[in-house]
Amino acid sequence: MTYQRFFFMFALPGLVLSDPSHSNQVVLLDTTAVLGELSWKTYPINGWDAITEMDEHNRPIHTFQVCHVMEPNQNNWLRTNWIPRQAAQKIYVELRFTLRDCNSIPWVSGTCKETFNLHYFEIDEPHGANAHFNPNDYAKIDTIAADESFTQTDLGDRVLRLNTEVREVGPIARKGFYLAFQDVGACIALVSVRVYYKKCPSTLRNLAAFPDTVPRVDSSSLVEVRGACVENAEERDTPRLYCGADGDWLVPLGRCVCSIGYEESDSLCIACRPGFYKAFAGNIKCSKCPPHSSSHTEGSSQCHCERSYYRASKDPPTMACTRLPSSPRNLVFNINETALFLEWTPPSDTGGRKDVTYDVFCFRCGADGQACEPCNSNVRFIPKSTGLTSTSVVVQDFVAHANYTFQIEALNGVSGLGRSERQLANITVSTEQAGPSLVGVVRKDWASQTSIALSWQETEQPHAAILDYEIKYYEKEQEQLSYSSTRTKSPSVIVTGLNPSTVYVFHVRARTLAGYSSYSPKFEFATGDENSEEAADQGQVLVIVTATVGGFSLLIILTLFLLISGRCQWYIKSKIKSEDKKGTQYQNGHVPFPGSKTYIDPDTYEDPSQAVHEFAKEIDPSRIQIERVIGAGEFGEVCSGQLRIPGKKEIPVAIKTLKGGYTERQRRDFLREASIMGQFDNPNIIRLQGVVTKSRPVMIVVEYMENGSLDSFLRKHDGHFTVIQLVGMLRGIASGMMYLSDIGYVHRDLAARNILVDDNLVCKVSDFGLSRVLEDDPEAAYTTTGGKIPIRWTAPEAIAYRKFSSASDAWSYGIVMWEVMSYGERPYWEMSNQDVILSIEEGYRLPAPMGCPVALHQLMLLCWQKERSRRPQFNDVVSFLDKLIRNPSSLLTLVEDVNSFPVTPEDMPDYPLFISIGDWLDSLKMSQYKNNFIAAGYTTLDSISTMSIDDVRRIGVSLIGHQRRIVSSIQALRLQFLHVQQSGFHENWTIYPEEPQ
Ligand code: ADE
């Protein structure tokens, strides 16, 4: 029996091939689903074997096997049929196979292999039946090795170890391709081949439908897809989704809303049921019809009013239908000689409305009370006859000894719609008691620009002696709006103070002991114009009046000025007081410099969204162009893109999104960062461009920093920068922190991971949000007091009793200095948080990283003083770093040079952490070099303490990062975690370089 035969016997039985369904995969080939022959080609013909068995459901299992392990120089090819590419740009090939371990086969060493090769060939159409196979057409995708090979024992146990390997191929441009499997002498059973491409499956989001979309081959860029609103929905902001490389939809933007008469249900818009309506497009539910209305069809935008009920044109559809008011009640009159008072009470039924008014209708009737006619226009109603809002009216200038009928109608907003249902109150009045007009014709004697002289005659036989006359007048143009009156004892008057070239209406009545007579008819007279002779003597008056008015105006202006300026002073003072009040919300007792800005904690706002709107600009989402996803935050994806501001150049931005399904608290916490960032204005603090809060997703838009976060940037560019460049970065961070401490903001999570770097190496402080920052920070651990704190970066007093201050930020700044100078090394390496806390408590501090200038390490040590008041303030740090930059020779002395004296184990009395080379390397995650150390004779901690970087290189540590880590730790061992309390230089600022003269 050949090995091939032997292998076959065990390859097939018992195999269970799962068939996972992947909604974002489009399968181009799946051998487990092919029911007929596969008809793949083999070259040479006796290389690979096709074996088809039937499973318990009588479905074929296609397997290809090869096992020419005894013969050298194998080159056996198995080629699939032509596979159409369809819409794929990048394809995935999933292989399941078993592979036999060569060690398990005797006498095959040298000929037996444990890998095979996967190839492909792109071509627009399938080869003809007789086409010659040419391996040179094929490009290699990869060599496939088994994760699990099986042995003779496994065969005996009938255990099959199935390997699954997936390879990506792309971009594919031709219409199709072949795959080929090249065996070079292994024992393989290829159990299934699945070829697929990924797509973002069609979906409904925000009431918009998005089609199946194939992602870009370049996995870092997203495909923007516009959605189409579902039926009965309309677009608000253009709905968009981004299709990511793995076939996942990301970042929904814009939305559709259900149209009038439709509401959302399960991502669709369904019609309102009868009895319900929806009058506006939007994501609101259908509402029940308001009182006295109903809808009988589905999808109603309005409900129709019941009989005798109406909706006025200005009534909102949400309002109940209303009807006409009933008639006014209790209509009464009261008459004296010249005036008739009508009074009533409101209707018992206002029709369900509040806009009730009244109209008065007047009819003069014959003696028998019959044959009524509308009153003539002489009869006047005060204040008016229509649209009365009060329940009384005065009637004047009616004829004495006559019969009148008055009708009062109550009206409301729907009275015009139901005329037939009007109800009026009537009253009949006889004017027997009213007095006659005692004044006949009124004449104009003369007129000037501002005066008119009038005279009149009494009618004969007045009933009683006339006491005086009342002359009532008004501008004809402004009839009834306002009037003036004057009195005279004689039957003439000069009415003054009139406007030039204006027609006035006059009427006169007499007063007797019995009261007033009725008014004379109306007479119209005009004042003169400028050219009229009568006006000549008025010039002087005009001058006097103008002078008087001018002087008076000046007086008024002066008075107003004094008043306003006094008031302004009061306003300014009170404003200062109120600003003072705001200012008292200083963080941590911070008192700002006079005139400096003060940070306001957004949590002091009763309504946190008010803080967002006060400090952050709302951005129209259509101005944001999302380009790619650059990370994932606690609240959602972080994307990069462009912000288009009209009239300005596009700005590259980073966009933090709040993923759907958030709680109100999450939204508040998310936006808190914007409320904080929006208060900052400094070149070393990440700049907020604005927020999107009025549409989904909620976003925070900030300036884009090309080099991402500082820790990973440094790790990626280990050893690439000059010391001056590193100090420049530290200077930027210190300057940002100086700004924050000046305005009273305490960061609490200052660490290299929270610094962003732009393409000019400018470092900016980011990640604001108080407690939230710490929730989000994977470094933050819970302390015994329950707080979540990034232990390695945090000052002891902040860990112990949460005393966070600018001084605790200074401690963190020292750690950031250390991270920068060690190119992103982890502070305290792999020590546990507990050991870090204990070591700090015992007075130990991080040693200088390799290549670190003494001056910088000393600054770090100052930042790490236990007594927080002794730590430098950020302005000290900035000026110190400025001096170093201006005097680069001060950076030439490295810590290695200073500490080149040998340190013996006796000098390290109680080094607590490691007992053997193995332990030490384990703690550094460098155990792979244990043999190198031992082989080179470094078997004790004592012996390594004198090693230099060259020694480390010589024993075979070739990676610069590893050399760095090991040498730093050797320094740590030698220096015994330098004891700050004993160093005594914390107050000795003279060690710092002087500025060059
Ligand atoms: N990651 C988070 N914020 C960023 C920013 N502003 N620029 C670049 N990458 C970021």
The domain spans of the chain are: 25-198, 203-258, 329-431, 439-526, 607-704, 705-772+788-899, 917-982
In this prediction, residue 566 has a pLDDT band, given cuts at 50, 70 and 90, of: very low
Residue nearest to atom 8 of ligand 1 (CA): 705
Determine the pLDDT at residue 337.
Answer: 63
Nearest Cα residue to atom 6 of ligand 1:
704
With b for 16 or more beta-carbon neighbours within 10 A and e for fewer, the 220-234 pattern comes to: eebeebebebbebbe
Mean pLDDT of the chain: 82
Distance 341 CA to ligand 1 centre (A): 80
List the single range of 431-435, 559-563, 836-840 with lowest mean pLDDT: 559-563
More confident residue, 23 or 311: 311
pLDDT score recorded for residue 286: 96
Ligand 1 atom index nearest CA of 705: 7
Nearest in space to 145 (alpha carbons), one of 202, 195, 188: 188
Q: pLDDT digits over 170-202, tens only?
A: 899 999 999 999 999 999 999 999 999 999 999
Q: Does residue 704 register a pLDDT over 60?
A: yes
Q: In 616-721, where does DSSP find H-type helix?
A: 664-677, 710-716
Mutation choice for ligand 1 from 756, 759, 764, CB with most ligand atoms inside 8 A:
756
Ligand 1, atom nearest to 704 Cα: 7
> Nearest residue CA, atom 10 of ligand 1?
708
Pick the CATH number of 917-982 from 3.90.1150.10, 3.40.1160.10, 1.10.150.50, 3.40.50.720: 1.10.150.50
| HSE-CB for 32 with a 13 A CA cutoff | 19
203-258 to CATH, choices 2.60.40.1770, 3.40.50.2300, 2.30.290.10, 1.10.357.10: 2.60.40.1770
The CATH number of the structural domain formed by 705-772+788-899 is 1.10.510.10
**Atom 4, ligand 1: residue with shortest CA distance:** 654
Return the H-helix or E-strand segment holding 691: strand 688-692
Pocket test for ligand 1, best of 624, 637, 638 (most atoms within 8 A of CB): 638
Note the pLDDT tens digit of each residue in 233-262: 999 888 999 888 878 888 778 889 999 999
The hierarchical CATH code for the domain 439-526 is: 2.60.40.10
User: Dmax of the chain from CA atoms?
Assistant: 157
Q: What is the pLDDT of residue 287?
A: 96
CB 256 within 8 A of CB 206: yes
Share of the chain above pLDDT 90, in %: 53
The yes-or-no verdict on residue 954 having pLDDT over 50 is yes
Q: Whose CA is nearest to atom 3 of ligand 1?
A: 654
The whole-number average pLDDT for the span 684-710 is 95
Residue 875: closest CA among 940, 809, 802: 809
850 touches 962 (CB < 8 A): no
Nearest by Cα to 274 from 247, 255, 294: 294
Return the residue whose CA atom lies nearest to atom 9 of ligand 1: 708
Non-local CB neighbours of 600 within 8 Å, separated by 6+ positions: 582, 585, 611, 679
Reduced 3-state DSSP string for 183-244? ECCEEEEEEEEEEEEECECCEEECCEEECCECCCCCCCCCEEEECEECCCEEECCCCEEEEC
Ligand 1 atom with the shortest distance to the CA of 633: 2
Q: What is the pTM of this model?
A: 0.47
914 or 580, which is more confident? 914
Average pLDDT, stretch 929-943? 84
Superfamily of domain 329-431: Immunoglobulins (2.60.40.10)
Rounded distance from Cα 792 to ligand 1 centre (Å): 23
Backbone angles phi, psi at 802, to 5 degrees: 55, 35
Q: Cα–Cα distance between 312 and 321 in angstroms, integer?
A: 9
Band (459; pLDDT cuts 50, 70, 90)? low
In the reported structure, the alpha carbon of residue 705 is separated from the centroid of ligand 1 by a whole-number distance in angstroms of 5
From the CA of 703, give the closest atom in ligand 1.
6
Angle, alpha carbons 924-928-929 (nearest 5°):
85
Quick one: average pLDDT of 336-365? 91
DSSP E strand boundaries for 704-814:
755-757, 763-765, 781-782, 788-789
Q: For the residues 684-709, what does the mean pLDDT come to?
A: 95
Q: Is the pLDDT of residue 300 over 90?
A: yes
Of 6-20, 94-108, 841-855, the range with the lowest mean pLDDT is: 6-20
Name the band, by pLDDT with cuts 50, 70 and 90, for residue 580. Answer: very low
* pLDDT tops 60 at residue 552: no
Ligand 1 centroid to Cα of residue 686, in Å, is 9
pLDDT at 945: 76
Q: pLDDT at residue 937 above 70?
A: yes
Ligand 1 geometric centre to CA of 719 (Å): 23
Find the 727 Cα to ligand 1 centroid distance in Å. 22
Task: Please report the pLDDT score of residue 662 as a whole number.
Answer: 83
pLDDT at 131: 87
Element (H, E) at 539: helix 538-583
Considering only 50-64, 781-795, 983-997, which range has the smallest mean pLDDT?
Answer: 983-997
Span from the CA of 631 to the centroid of ligand 1 (angstroms): 8
Distance from the CA of 755 to the center of ligand 1, in angstroms? 9
Q: Is the dihedral of CA 210, 215, 216, 222 positive or negative?
A: positive
**CATH class of the domain comprising 25-198:** mainly beta
Q: Ligand 1: which atom is nearest the Cα of residue 706?
A: 8
Q: Which pLDDT band holds residue 991 (cuts at 50, 70, 90)?
A: very low
Q: Residue 532: its pLDDT value, please?
A: 59
Test site for ligand 1: of 705, 759, 776, most ligand atoms within 8 A of the Cβ: 705
In the structure, what pLDDT confidence band is assigned to residue 577 with cuts at 50, 70 and 90? Answer: very low
Most confident stretch, 125-129, 628-632, 872-876: 872-876
pLDDT of residue 893: 82
Tokens 């009763």, residue?
A: 606
More confident residue, 111 or 582: 111
Residue 35 has pLDDT above 70, yes or no: yes
> Three-state SS for 339?
strand
Residue, of 7 and 53, whose pLDDT is higher: 53
Does residue 369 surpass a pLDDT of 70? no
Which residues are the active-site residues? 749
Q: Do domains 439-526 and 917-982 have the same CATH topology?
A: no
Whether the per-residue pLDDT at 734 is higher than 90: the answer is: yes
Contact 882, 734 (CB under 8 A): no
pLDDT-based confidence at residue 433 (cuts at 50, 70, 90): low
Q: Whose CA is nearest to atom 1 of ligand 1?
A: 708
Does the structure show a pLDDT above 50 at 140? yes
Q: Which 3 state secondary structure label does DSSP give 23?
A: coil
pLDDT of 542 > 90? The answer is: no
Reported as a pLDDT band with limits 50, 70 and 90, residue 996 is: very low
Residue among 307, 302, 65 at smallest CA distance from 188? 65
pLDDT of residue 986: 31
Known binding positions for ATP: 630-638, 656
* pLDDT over 70 (residue 155): no
Q: In Å, what is the CA distance from 79 to each residue of 76, 236, 483?
A: 10, 53, 108
Contact assessment for residue 108 and residue 70, using Cβ atoms and an 8 Å cutoff: yes
Pick the CATH number of 607-704 from 3.30.200.20, 3.40.50.300, 3.60.21.10, 3.30.9.90: 3.30.200.20
User: Ligand 1 pocket check: which of 709, 762, 763 to mutate, most ligand atoms within 8 Å of Cβ?
Assistant: 709
Ligand 1: list residues with CB < 6 Å: 630-631, 638, 654, 686, 702, 704-705, 708, 756
- Predicted local distance difference test score (pLDDT) of residue 596: 64
**How crowded is residue 371: how many other Cβ atoms within 10 Å of its Cβ?**
10
What pLDDT is stored for residue 175 in this prediction? 96
Q: Work out which ligand 1 atom sits closest to the CA atom of 631.
A: 1
The yes-or-no verdict on residue 721 having pLDDT over 90 is yes
Question: Which segments are annotated as binding site?
Answer: 630-638, 656
